[in-house]
Chains A and B, each alone.
Chain A
Amino acid sequence: MTDLLRLGLHDLHVSLGGKMVPFAGYEMPVQYPAGVMKEHLHTRAAAGLFDVSHMGQVILRPKTDMATLCAGFEAMMPVDVAGLAEGRQRYGLFTNEQGGILDDLMFANRGDHLFVVVNAACKAADIAHMQAHLAAVAEVLPVTDRALLALQGPQAEAALASLVPQVMAMRFMDVAVVDSVFGALWISRSGYTGEDGFEISVPDGGAHGLAEALLAMAEVAPIGLGARDSLRLEAGLCLYGHDIDEGTSPVEAGLTWAIQKTRRAGGARMGGFPGVARILRELADGPARRRVGLRPDGRAPMREGTALFSPDGAPAGTVTSGGFGPSVEAPIAMGYIDAKLADNGTALMGDVRGKHLPVTVCDLPFHPTSYKR
């Protein structure tokens, strides 16, 4: 067992009563005294502050010009990088030669460079992967002196605007660099809860002050990893290593919205990414299995790993994320299902502790998203 890393705001989490657990090599707050349920509901009703500093922040600085860098980045994923306007962010997916997903990420065009945020558990591999593929076109510069905070929920805009009024003008997936008393903030209007909100990269020296200033507001509460997971599950968002991994393709995962037309068959920059054969074939013919939403008919949650069966007992798939949705007020799950059984409304059975319990295929998300577009 290797030593766990500590967040820059570790002492703040402890002083707030955060229960610290190992996650992706870090000691992370899984919940605060309010508990997962209240933290979840608070985020949907007001604003929640999440410390996501464990995630990887990376700057890609072009060696020659942005167009060459974007072309190089496009060769790593089935996503339109070149078409991303300055000041905008987009969701991306590193794919492997088999069309599986190495990681999902956010990348932003900041004029003279790209800013990338990757998952904590993948960040060392992602950085090595980018260094290997972009060596000729970019300097890959991990950002190690900044915290990353997410402020999410319907009152996130008002809360952050009271410190940084410029954020009022941002819409979903805009990015901006804003000077503040906490240092230069790299702000994106995004998050991973299904709510409107922001992710804020803040210099380590200003992180404590920014977090304290936000937490001093009545509408802002600290939120742990537990509620982060139930919020993203209700929003139908994938958790890397669970709902997507090296064996799942973006098409199976229902992430085709992340593959812009220009990279698809007939597009101006069609193909040219790892796993192109499988991904274009699945786009054309449909995948053999699909990620779907699942609503257990009863009250028993169906957790990750629950085996799913058709009503006649034939294997149908597996749950990849499952639990209780505090806003939905019912158990919810998602998983991969044989495409023939993946239509909305299909009745299946899930094996819960040896009992086959009914579960119904449903649309995602479970809880409507409220992004400010």
Chain B
Amino acid sequence: MKYTKEHEWLRVEGDLVVIGITEHAATQLGDVVFVELPEIETMVSTGDEIVVIESVKAASDILAPLDGEIVQVNAKLVDNPALVNEDPTGAGWFFKMAIDDLGALDDYMDEDEYADFIG
């Protein structure tokens, strides 16, 4: 698993990358009440705002961590946004991307580095 400074996790699954937010981020956000997912088959660039998450407190964005195509989204989050809090690294995943170069993941933190990052 790899981690971004925006508190996303990235997990390689076959030739796809699964993306969600970390437990730390889910706790900081508080109870998630709304998730707006991207359209599938959308081409995105690193840094694009592609997901909106609203908690009881505020709205925040998830940025595309890589260049590539959105090939799958977790539609269960639309009806049950609480999955993000209940199981952020499992059932609470957001989307899957197809990317050209899996090597791009090397730029991101590993688990130990992320643990240091959040202190």
Contacts from A to B (Cβ < 8 Å): 30-31, 35-37, 40, 226, 230, 299-301, 303, 323-324, 326, 331, 353
Contacts and interface: CB of A to CB of B under 8 A. Distances in A.
B56 interface: yes
B110 to A, nearest CB: 28
Contacts of A326: 31, 56
Contacts of A353: 52
Contact of B31 (A30, A35, A299, A331): A35
Nearest to A329: B33
B54 A300 contact: yes
A331 B33 contact: yes
B34 A37 contact: no
Contacts of A37: 30-31, 56
A31 B55 CA distance: 13
B57 to A, nearest CB: 6
Given A324-B54, A324-B56, A301 B31 contact: no
Contact of A230 (B34, B54, B56, B78): B56
Counting chain B residues whose Cβ lies within 8 A of the other chain, the interface size class is 10 to 19
Nearest to A301: B54
Given A36-B57, A226-B57, A299 B33 contact: yes
Interface string B49-60: 000101111110
Shortest 6 CB-CB contacts between residues of A and residues of B: A37-B31, A324-B33, A36-B56, A299-B34, A301-B54, A324-B56
B78 A299 contact: yes
A32 to B, nearest CB: 11
B36 interface: yes
Contacts of A226: 30, 56-57
A34 B29 CA distance: 13
Contacts of B34: 299-301, 324, 331
Nearest to B78: A299
Interface in B75-110: 78, 81
Given A299-B78, A324-B56, 16 more contacts: A31-B30, A35-B30, A36-B30, A36-B55, A37-B30, A37-B56, A226-B56, A226-B57, A300-B52, A301-B33, A301-B59, A303-B59, A323-B56, A324-B34, A326-B31, A331-B33
A37 B56 CA distance: 7
A4 B34 CA distance: 33
A51 B52 CA distance: 33
B78 A36 contact: no
A36 B31 contact: yes
A40 B30 CA distance: 13
Nearest to B61: A353
A35 B31 CA distance: 7
A228 to B, nearest CB: 12
7 contacts: A230-B56, A299-B78, A300-B52, A303-B58, A323-B56, A324-B34, A331-B33
Contacts of A324: 33-34, 54, 56
